[in-house]
A and B are shown apart, each in its own frame.
Chain A
Amino acid sequence: MMSFFKGFFRGRTVIQPIWVFVIAIFIFFSFMSEYFLSWGNITNILVQTSTIGLIALGMTLVMINGNIDLSVGAVLGLAASLVVGLQETSMVLAIVAALSCGVVLGAINGLVVWKTGVNAFIVTLGAMIGVRGLIFVYTEEQSLYAMNFAFSDFGMSSIGPMPVLAIIFLVCALIMHLVLTRTSHGRNTFAVGGNPEASIDAGICLGRHMMINFMIVGFFAALAGVLLASQMGAATPNLGRDYELWVITAVVLGGTKLTGGYGSIVGTLGGVLAIGILRNGMNLMQVPAFYVLVVLGLILISVLIIDKKLNAPSTKEVRV
């Protein structure tokens, strides 16, 4: 029985623990609020979580790699400002510029981590402060408003019963799941995070894989920024502040190890949905938003304790 639970919580069995949690709170809120269980509300949750969710997809790869990216919120803000600020040239050009800006900033992060050996935490912390400065330099502290109606309608549009943002998020999740599980880059990502020295011996170029993953998360942060700007029809200089915290919370809830070498997109999807359902459900139950913060913090700590208790490597760890 114990070994079943151990395998279960490590995610080796088919259903991951976070999904049990997602289903449990889903059922809970269905009973607690009459508005919760409707197609409109479910797609609403998907749209609300798509911003954090998209970034979390990229962050999963970076964290499996054993790194972390704290600059995603700032990159999101910059991409949103760029796409709205450049709308007069051409909408396509503006979107391309915003997305490539995310990729380039990711590449810079990756390159600095690769070439200097400085901890990713420090590099991206610096980038977070610096990129936020770039946003203010670009926007001169002004909010920008989208004049292009095709762009601002895009965020609200839906294909049949599904909102476009939800479709984009789910398709991206599927693609990243395939990248992580079916490609050599995905395999190497696990190897690099799990045992860096062994992967050097196996002939894997660590730095390159890290850099590619930073570029991926940069791309997703920029994409989230573009979609958020389209949803709001505007971009403010402070857009995306604190997003890195929500994203990391979602990825960790999804079972990805901070030390690297372990994690999955399916888990991250569960983590993102758990946060989305909790926020939405508590909102519908008219719990003040303040309590949601406390509940999320407590849940995150409980998950850590459960994980620690079940996976304790009692022989390896020195007991005092």
Chain B
Amino acid sequence: MSFLSAQGILIFFLLGMFAFSLFSEQFLSQSNIMTVVRQASIIGIIAIGVTVVIIGGNLDLSVGSMLSFSTVLVVDLHDKIGPTNAILLMFALTLMIGAVNGFLIGFLRLNSLIVTLAMLSAIQGLVLIYSGGQNVDIADQEGTWFAFFGRGYLAGIAVPVLMFGLLAIVMQIVMSYTGYGRRIFAVGGNPMAAVYSGIRNNWCVFSTYLISAFCVACAALVLGSRVMGSQNNVGQGYELLVLAGVILGGTSLLGGAGSIWKTVIGVLILGFIQNGLLLMGYPYYIQWLVTWVIIILAVWLDLANKRKRLLTTHS
């Protein structure tokens, strides 16, 4: 049973892939799998950062608005100050928003749900003020190397997928094998104990929001470069898809538990559900219904061990 609940998400994933491949022969083709992974990579890149925040015992609902902000910024500045400067400025400003989140939550110890909820609306407002409610785009779409991040290939692999994979591997190593990762787990799992063992909690929490903002900036790079333009509400609803992926991956919202590779699988499951149902001829919104059922099932499966403890406070 303990094996099942630890690897439950992986088993779930393989069973689902098997089921879909029975219904549609295109499903397991290499090109289809690459397409799904490429589509999932934007949500995946953001989900990596959000996983770190959640392991640290907090939440980040502002990632969707931040994605809109960063994408609009980088696309709009591309023509004005050149691609390199635009990317650098976009990263700097996105990290600043992350720092504001981190300061309010890490140092002033405000409730992360409400702070990031407030930031969600504030940043959405900022995007609209900045863009004047207009959509932005890049004038010379063919003559710029900016397209590389969203449309390019490196060694036969799409660049977004490469960024997604690289970020996932780096963060997985950081979270499992470094002292920093262990401290984040400690702060999320038991803040008091972390303080008594000499961990500076506020800096740890602060840094998780910087990581989250960095991931959003990477995602904005991919999204802006793929579309070569941006609507000012392009990231709307991303925070929920991202959370769904993280939760499917079995990361506990209570903090202190979770892993990057499971988040990656959670995000891929969402992507494959959408793709599989589409190939089977169902409209896309059926995917939302299925996601609802699957989230509850996956969480139930993953909570198999903790359920007894939780039930004592809910019976």
Is the CB–CB distance between A133 and B114 below 8 Å?
no
A130 and B129 in contact, given A200-B315, A300-B114 (Cβ under 8 angstroms): no
Give B120-164 interface residues, CB cut-off 8 Å to A. Answer: 120-126, 128-129, 133
The CA of A114 and the CA of B314, in the complex, are separated in Å by 6
- Taking a contact as CB atoms under 8 Å apart, the answer to whether B121 and A297 are in contact is yes
Q: Are B286 and A293 in contact (CB under 8 A)?
A: no
The residue of chain A having its C-beta at the shortest distance from the C-beta of B302 within the complex is A118
Q: Which among A116, A122, A290, A320 is the interface contact of B133 at CB below 8 angstroms?
A: A290
Nearest residue, chain B, Cβ from A130: B292
The answer to whether B314 touches A207 (Cβ under 8 A) is yes
Chain B residues with CB under 8 Å of A117's CB are 303, 307, 310-311, 313-314
A182 to chain B, nearest CB (A): 27
B215-266 with Cβ < 8 A to chain A: 240, 243-244, 247, 253-254
**0/1 interface trace, chain A 221-240, chain B, CB 8 Å (1 if under):** 00000000000000000000
Q: Are A125 and B244 in contact (CB under 8 A)?
A: yes
Task: Report whether over half of chain A's contact residues are helix, strand or loop; otherwise say mixed.
Answer: helix
**Cβ of B195: which chain A residues have Cβ within 8 Å of it?**
318, 320
Please, how many residues of chain B have a CB less than 8 angstroms from a CB on the other chain?
55
Per-residue 0/1 for A264-296: is the Cβ within 8 Å of any B Cβ (1 yes, 0 no)? Answer: 000000000000000000000000111111111
Of the candidate stretches B8-16, B24-32, B104-112, B168-176, the one touching chain A is B104-112
Contact B291 A129 (CB under 8 A): yes
**Is B92 located at the chain interface by the 8 A CB criterion?**
no
Chain B CB within 8 A of A59 CB: no
| Cross-chain contact A130 with B293 (CB below 8 angstroms) | yes
Known: A112-B296, A114-B314, A129-B240. A249 touches B111 (CB 8 A): no
Chain B residues whose C-beta falls within 8 Å of the C-beta of A121 in the assembled complex: 253
A141 to B285 Cα, complex, angstroms:
9
Instruction: Give the residue among A127, A210, A245, A317 with the most B Cβ atoms within 10 A.
Output: A245
Using known A-B contacts A196-B313, A207-B315, determine if residue A133 contacts B288 with beta carbons closer than 8 Å.
Answer: yes
Residues of B288-315 at the interface with A, using a CB-CB cut-off of 8 Å, are: 288-293, 295-296, 299-300, 303, 307, 310-311, 313-315
User: CB-nearest residue of chain B relative to A317?
Assistant: B109
Which residue of chain A is the closest to B314 with respect to CB atoms?
A: A117
CA distance A113 to B288 in the complex (A): 20
List B residues 187-224 near A (Cβ within 8 Å).
191-192, 195-196, 200-202
- Establish whether residues A137 and B289, one from each chain, have CB atoms under 8 Å apart when the complex forms: yes
Residues in B whose Cβ lies below 8 Å from that of A248: 114, 117
Instruction: Determine whether the beta carbon of A197 is less than 8 Å from that of B313.
Output: yes
Residues of B within 8 Å of A291, CB to CB, are 125, 129
User: Is B81 interfacial (CB-CB < 8 Å)?
Assistant: no
Assess A301 versus B291: contact at CB under 8 Å? Given A118-B296, A292-B125, A318-B192: no
Query: Can you list 5 A-B contacts with CB-CB less than 8 angstroms, sorted by A residue number?
Result: A126-B292, A130-B291, A210-B314, A304-B110, A304-B118
With A116-B299, A125-B247, A206-B314 already in contact, 12 other A-B pairs whose C-beta atoms are closer than 8 Å: A117-B314, A123-B296, A128-B240, A130-B289, A206-B315, A293-B122, A296-B118, A296-B122, A301-B118, A301-B122, A304-B115, A317-B109
Closest 10 CB pairs of A and B: A130-B292, A297-B122, A293-B125, A133-B288, A136-B285, A117-B310, A290-B128, A294-B125, A133-B289, A126-B295
